[in-house]
C-alpha cells in the first residue's frame, strides 16, 4: 500500500477563491456533483441537490452548535480562546499575547474579571482560573464567534455560521457542509421522501490542527466528543442508504458502526483519522465543502473519493472558480 506524505495533499488556491461571506440565500451556493460509479462531474447549485440524492437515502447532519469561545479584551489586544471548560471557574485556553499570561500571573482583563494562569502546557495552552464563572454575564460583551483565520472577523455573520440543525452548544467551528441548507430546501427534500437524521459531534480545534509530520500516518488526531441517541441509532439502522452531511458526521458514523454496519446508542470520544486506503463501512455518500491544503479533512475526502480523483475534482473546482472553505461551495460525492 502506498505511503502518503503531507506534500501529496498540497495544492495552490488563488486567494480570491477563499469565500469571505456565504451565498445568499445559503442554498444558492454552487454544487459539484461527482459520481464514483462513472467518474463523472456535474456543475449545479445546492438548491437542486435533491435531484442527485440516492433513492431512500437518509441525510445525516451534525446538530452541534458553535459556541462564542473567543474572548476579546482591551479592544482586541488581549485574547482568550477557550478550548475546554474544566469547571465553571477553570478553563483551558489559547491566549494572546502569551507574555501577559505567564505561569502564576494574576491580572484583570476587564472590570470585575481577573484571570490567574495556573499551568502552561508544552504546546502553550494555558489553564486559567477565572474570578467569575465562564457563563457569567460579565463575559458577554467580550464573546466572539471563532471564525477560521482565513475569514475576516465580522461578528454580524455569526448567525450565518450556524446550521439550521444547531442545538447542542459545544463546537469551536461550524460543521460547514450543513450551512447550505435552508428551511425551504429541507421541506423540498422531505417531500421527495428523503429523511434527515441527526447526531452530535462537538468540533474541536484538533480537526483543523496542521499536520506537522511528513508521513501522514505519524499524525495523531485530537479527540472530539460525540453522541448518538437511541432514537437516532434506530433511524440510522432503518435507512436504505446514508448520505453523511459533512466530515464531522462521517467521522462519527465510521467511529461507531459495528462490523455488521449497524449503529447503537452511545457517546464518547473519537480520534479517528481517515486517510486513503480506509475501508468505509457506514456512509454511502458524502456532502462536503472544499478543504484546506495538507489538512486532515482533505485526506478524508481523498479516502472517500479516491486520491487521484480528488486532485482532478479540486483542479476542476479551481478552474470553474468555485468558492472554497467554510463559507464556500459544496460537493456531493455519490
Q: Identify the band that residue 205 occupies on the pLDDT scale cut at 50, 70 and 90.
A: confident
Is the confidence at residue 91, as pLDDT, over 80?
yes
Domain identity same for 74 and 219: no
pLDDT (tens digit, 9 = 90+) per residue, 249-280? 999 999 999 888 899 999 999 999 999 999 99
User: What integer is the mean pLDDT of 95-117?
Assistant: 96
Domain identity same for 100 and 169: no
Asked if 6 and 213 touch (Cβ cutoff 8 Å), the reply is yes
Would residue 84 count as lying in a domain? yes
Is the confidence at residue 238, as pLDDT, over 90?
yes
Which letter, b or e, does each residue of 60-75 get, where b requires 16 or more Cβ atoms within 10 Å of its Cβ? bbbbbbbbbbbbbbee
Domain identity same for 251 and 102: no
Domain identity same for 77 and 18: no
> For the chain, what is the mean pLDDT?
95
Domain identity same for 170 and 281: yes
- Residue matched to cell numbers 499575547: 97
Would residue 1 count as lying in a domain? no
Is the confidence at residue 178, as pLDDT, over 80?
yes
Is the confidence at residue 105, as pLDDT, over 70?
yes
Distance in Å from the first CA to the final CA of the chain: 25
Domain identity same for 23 and 83: no
Closest CA to 326 of 111, 54, 23: 23
- 115: domain CATH number is 2.40.10.240
Total number of domains constituting the chain: 2
User: What integer is the mean pLDDT of 195-207?
Assistant: 90
Would residue 280 count as lying in a domain? yes
pLDDT at 40: 98
Residue 293: partners with Cβ closer than 8 Å, 6 or more residues away: 9, 10, 11, 12, 13
Name the domain boundary from 93, 113, 144. Answer: 144
Would residue 149 count as lying in a domain? no
Which letter, b or e, does each residue of 139-162 get, where b requires 16 or more Cβ atoms within 10 Å of its Cβ? beebebbbbbeebeeeeebbebbb
User: What integer is the mean pLDDT of 156-176?
Assistant: 94
Name the domain boundary from 120, 144, 168. Answer: 144
The grid cell for 183 is 428551511
Calculate helix-pair angle for 247-256, 296-305, nearest 10 degrees.
70
| Residues 323, 48, 179, 225, Cα dihedral to 10° | -110
- 281: domain CATH number is 3.40.1780.10
Calculate helix-pair angle for 307-319, 296-305, nearest 10 degrees.
110
Domain identity same for 210 and 233: yes
Q: Which helix (H) or strand (E) holds 170?
A: strand 168-171
Domain identity same for 176 and 287: yes
Domain identity same for 29 and 158: yes
Q: Give the global pTM.
A: 0.93
Name the domain boundary from 144, 172, 205. Answer: 144
pLDDT (tens digit, 9 = 90+) per residue, 1-28? 789 999 999 999 999 999 999 999 999 9
Domain identity same for 122 and 250: no
Domain identity same for 182 and 294: yes
Q: Identify the band that residue 152 occupies on the pLDDT scale cut at 50, 70 and 90.
A: confident
Q: Domain containing 55: what range?
A: 6-66+154-333
Closest CA to 82 of 144, 38, 40: 144
pLDDT at 149: 85
Is the confidence at residue 207, as pLDDT, over 70?
no
Domain identity same for 184 and 98: no
Residue 270: partners with Cβ closer than 8 Å, 6 or more residues away: 201, 223, 224, 226, 251, 252, 255, 256
pLDDT (tens digit, 9 = 90+) per residue, 51-89? 999 999 999 999 999 999 999 999 999 999 999 999 999
Amino acid at each position: 500500500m502506498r505511503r502518503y506524505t503531507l506534500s501529496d495533499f498540497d495544492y495552490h488556491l488563488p486567494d480570491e477563491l477563499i469565500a469571505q461571506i456565504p451565498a445568499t440565500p445559503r442554498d444558492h451556493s454552487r454544487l459539484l456533483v461527482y459520481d464514483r460509479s462513472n467518474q463523472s462531474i456535474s456543475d449545479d447549485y445546492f438548491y437542486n441537490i435533491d435531484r442527485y440524492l440516492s433513492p431512500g437515502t437518509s441525510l445525516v447532519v451534525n446538530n452541534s452548535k458553535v459556541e462564542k469561545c473567543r474572548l476579546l479584551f482591551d479592544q482586541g489586544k488581549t485574547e482568550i480562546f477557550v478550548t475546554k471548560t474544566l469547571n465553571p471557574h477553570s478553563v483551558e485556553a489559547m491566549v494572546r499575547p502569551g507574555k501577559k499570561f505567564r505561569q502564576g500571573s494574576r491580572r484583570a482583563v476587564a472590570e470585575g474579571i481577573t484571570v490567574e494562569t495556573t499551568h502552561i502546557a508544552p504546546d502553550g495552552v494555558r489553564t486559567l482560573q477565572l474570578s467569575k464563572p465562564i457563563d457569567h454575564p460579565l463575559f458577554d460583551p467580550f464573546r466572539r464567534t471563532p471564525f477560521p483565520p482565513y475569514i475576516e472577523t465580522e461578528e454580524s455573520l455569526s448567525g450565518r455560521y450556524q446550521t439550521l440543525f444547531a442545538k447542542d452548544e459545544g463546537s469551536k467551528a461550524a460543521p460547514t457542509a450543513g450551512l447550505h441548507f435552508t428551511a425551504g430546501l429541507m421541506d423540498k427534500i422531505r417531500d421527495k421522501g428523503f429523511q434527515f437524521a441527526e447526531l452530535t459531534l462537538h468540533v474541536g480545534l484538533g480537526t483543523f490542527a496542521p499536520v506537522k509530520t511528513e508521513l501522514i500516518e505519524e499524525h495523531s488526531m485530537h479527540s472530539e466528543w460525540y453522541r448518538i441517541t437511541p432514537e437516532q441509532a434506530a433511524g440510522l439502522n432503518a435507512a436504505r442508504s446514508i448520505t453523511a452531511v459533512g466530515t464531522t458526521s462521517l467521522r462519527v458514523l465510521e467511529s461507531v458502526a459495528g462490523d455488521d454496519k449497524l449503529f447503537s446508542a452511545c457517546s464518547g470520544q473519537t480520534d479517528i483519522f481517515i486517510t486513503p486506503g480506509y475501508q468505509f463501512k457506514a456512509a454511502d455518500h458524502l456532502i462536503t465543502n472544499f478543504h484546506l491544503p495538507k489538512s486532515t479533512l482533505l485526506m478524508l475526502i481523498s479516502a472517500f473519493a479516491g486520491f487521484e480523483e480528488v486532485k482532478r475534482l479540486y483542479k476542476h473546482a479551481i478552474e470553474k472558480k468555485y468558492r472554497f472553505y467554510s463559507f464556500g461551495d459544496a460537493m456531493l460525492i455519490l
